[in-house]
Chain A
Amino acid sequence: MRVSPGPNTSVPLLGQWARNKSMLRIVFPFTIGLLLMMLGILESSHLSGRAVEIGHDAVLERENTREQIIKLGIFGASLTEVLVRRGEDTVIFLGKKPRNVAPLQKDTATAAP
C-alpha cells in the first residue's frame, strides 16, 4: 500500500517568502522604521556631540540659524536636546569636555543605566 505524501511542510524559498503579501506588509514598514530611527539617532547624536564640543545649549542658543532649526526638526533631536541641557555628566557625552557647566546638571545623572 502506497502512503500518499503529506502536506508540504518544507520551508518556503526566499523568493516565495518575499512574494508573500502579508509578510511584506510587516517587513517593508519595519525596515523603513529601522532606517528612519537609525538616521534620526545618528544625526541627533552628531548634533549633541557637536553641541557639547562647542559648549552646552549651543545648538539651541548660539547656532539658532534657520538651517539648524530645520535640521533639528528633521532629525528629531528633542530627546538629545534635553540631554544636552541636563549636563555633560550624562554618559552620552562621556569623554567629551564642554567649556561651561550646564545649569540643570544633577549629581544623580552620573550613574546612568
Chain B
Amino acid sequence: MHKKSLQSLTLSIWPFSRAVKKFLLMLAVAFYTFGLTGAGAIFIMSAMSYAAFARDSSLSHGISASDSSRLGGVSILITFSVFVLLMTYFSPYTPGVLRDPFWSYFWGGILSCCAIGLVEDFKADALSPFIRLLLKAVIFGGLLWAAPVMIPSQIGIFWVDSLLKIDWLAWLLCTVFCVGFINAFNMSDGANGLVPGICLCTFVVLFDVYGRPAEGILVFACSMFLLFNVVSGWFFLGDTGSYGLGAIIVSYGLLGVAQGDFSAGFMACLVAYPCIDFVYSLLRRAASGVSPFRPDNGHLHNHLHSFYRPFFKSKVMSNSLTGLSISGASSGLALGMYLQSSIPITSNLWFWLFGFQAILYVTVIGALVGRQGRKAAQ
C-alpha cells in the first residue's frame, strides 16, 4: 500500500513512463556533452530503435532479456555520415576520400565490410558464414593490395618480423589477421557497452594521436551510441556495427603500426578483450570436441553477467555493468596508462600489459566458472 502511494506520488511529480525517463536522461547527457548535435544524434538513434524490422528476440542473445533492434551499427553509420555530410556542406572541411586515393581505398574497404553486415542485419542468414568470410578476405586482400603502405614491416616479435620481410607472405598474413580480427570483434559483441566501450577508448587514442576531424566524429558517434546503449538497452550493435567498427580499428591499427605512430603491443592492449576472448573460445571449444566456430554462451561476458544478475533488479543494469566492467578493465586500463603517459606508445613494453590482461582474463573466467560449478553442485 505504502509502495503504491509512493509510486502515485512519484508519477504525479514526474509523470513519465520509464522509457520516456530514460530518453530524457540520455537527451540531457548528450546535450550537456555535445549540445544540439548530441541531442540530434539521440533523436536519430531513438528513431532507429523504434523500427519494427531487423529486430532480434532475447533468445538469440545470451545476455539480453528483451527484444531489441539490430540496427545499432546502422545508427552509428547514419550519425557518422550525417555529421560528415553536414560538416562538408557547412564548413571548409573536405573529406580525405575526395582528396587522396589512399583514403578512398581505406574508407571504401570499411564501408564494404559495413555493407556485408547491413545485408545480415536486414535479412538474417542471407549470406552463409563461408561467403561472409570469403567476402571479407576479398575486401581486405584488395585493400592491402591497393594500399601496401598499410602492411607493417615489423611488429616487435622476432619470428613474425622475419615472415613480414617476404612481401606476398606479409600481405597474406595481414589479410588473414584482418578477417580474424573482425570475426573476433563480432564474437565479443554480447553485452551493452562492451564493443562500443572498447571502440570509444580506441577512438579517443586515435583522435589524440592524429587529431583529425574523422577520428573526432568517430569519438562523437561512438560516445553517443555508448550512452544510448548503456542507458536504454534498446539496441544490439548488429553485424553492421561489429564488422564496421572492427574494420575501422584493424585498418587504423595496421596503418599506425606500419607508419610507426604506435607499437603493435599498444594496439593489442587497446583491443585485448576481443583478441583474447576469440583465441580462448576457439581453444575451449576445440578442447571440448565441438566445432571451434559454433556459437555458445561460454564467454567471459556471459559468466560475468550470471554473476551480476542476482544483485540487480533491472535487467539492463546488470547487462550494461557487464559490458562496462570488461571494456573498462581491458581497453580502459590501456587508455588510462596512455593518458598517464606511463609507457611511450611506440614501446614494445605494452606486450607485457597484454600478457597481464590475458592472465587476468583466464583467472577471472576460471573463478567464475568454478563458482558456478560449486553453485550447481549444491
Chain A residues within 8 Å of B, Cβ to Cβ: 22, 25-30, 32-45, 48-49, 72-79, 82-83, 86-87, 90-96, 104, 106, 108-109, 111-113
Question: Interface with A: B3-11, B84-92, B112-120, B185-193, which one?
Answer: B84-92
Q: A38-B86, A40-B35, A91-B93 are in contact. Are A33 and B213 (CB under 8 A)?
A: no
- Beta-carbon contact of A77 and B51 below 8 Å: no
- Beta-carbon contact of B86 and A33 below 8 Å: no
- Beta-carbon contact of A33 and B94 below 8 Å: no
Contact of A76 among B37, B50, B92 (CB under 8 A): B37
- Beta-carbon contact of A34 and B213 below 8 Å: no
The CA of A108 and the CA of B262, in the complex, are separated in Å by 13
- Beta-carbon contact of B212 and A29 below 8 Å: no
- Beta-carbon contact of B43 and A32 below 8 Å: yes
Q: A36-B37, A90-B212, A109-B211 are in contact. Are A27 and B47 (CB under 8 A)?
A: yes
- Beta-carbon contact of B93 and A74 below 8 Å: no
Q: A33-B47, A74-B35 are in contact. Are A113 and B40 (CB under 8 A)?
A: no
The CA of A26 and the CA of B97, in the complex, are separated in Å by 31
Chain A residue contacts of B214, Cβ below 8 A: 112-113
Within 8 A of A (CB), among B20-42: 31, 33-42
- Beta-carbon contact of A76 and B35 below 8 Å: yes
Contact of A34 among B44, B207, B217 (CB under 8 A): B44
The residue in chain B whose Cβ has the minimal distance to the Cβ of A94 is B92
**A-B contact number at CB 8 A:** 153
- Beta-carbon contact of B40 and A33 below 8 Å: yes
Q: Does B46 contact A (CB under 8 A)?
A: yes
Contact of B107 among A41, A108, A113 (CB under 8 A): A113
Q: Does B95 contact A (CB under 8 A)?
A: yes
Closest Cβ–Cβ distance, residue A34 to chain B (whole Å): 7
Q: A22-B50, A39-B36, A72-B35 are in contact. Are A92 and B211 (CB under 8 A)?
A: no
- Beta-carbon contact of B92 and A92 below 8 Å: yes
15 A-B pairs in the complex with CB atoms less than 8 angstroms apart? A25-B50, A29-B43, A30-B47, A32-B40, A32-B43, A33-B43, A36-B39, A37-B44, A38-B86, A41-B37, A41-B87, A76-B31, A76-B36, A91-B94, A111-B96
User: How would residues 188 to 202 of chain B score, 1 for a CB under 8 Å from any chain A CB and 0 otherwise?
Assistant: 000000000000000
Closest Cβ–Cβ distance, residue A102 to chain B (whole Å): 10
User: Taking each of A36, A75, A94, which has the highest tally of chain B beta carbons within 10 Å of its own beta carbon?
Assistant: A36
The CA of A48 and the CA of B45, in the complex, are separated in Å by 27
Q: A38-B86, A41-B87, A113-B212 are in contact. Are A30 and B44 (CB under 8 A)?
A: yes
Closest Cβ–Cβ distance, residue B79 to chain A (whole Å): 8
- Beta-carbon contact of B40 and A36 below 8 Å: yes
- Beta-carbon contact of B34 and A40 below 8 Å: yes
Within 8 A of A (CB), among B39-65: 39-48, 50-52
- Beta-carbon contact of A26 and B51 below 8 Å: yes
Chain B residue contacts of A40, Cβ below 8 A: 34-40
Chain A residue contacts of B207, Cβ below 8 A: 82
Within 8 A of A (CB), among B60-105: 79, 82-83, 86-87, 90-97, 100, 103
- Beta-carbon contact of B216 and A36 below 8 Å: no
Closest Cβ–Cβ distance, residue A16 to chain B (whole Å): 17
Contact of B34 among A35, A45, A79 (CB under 8 A): A79
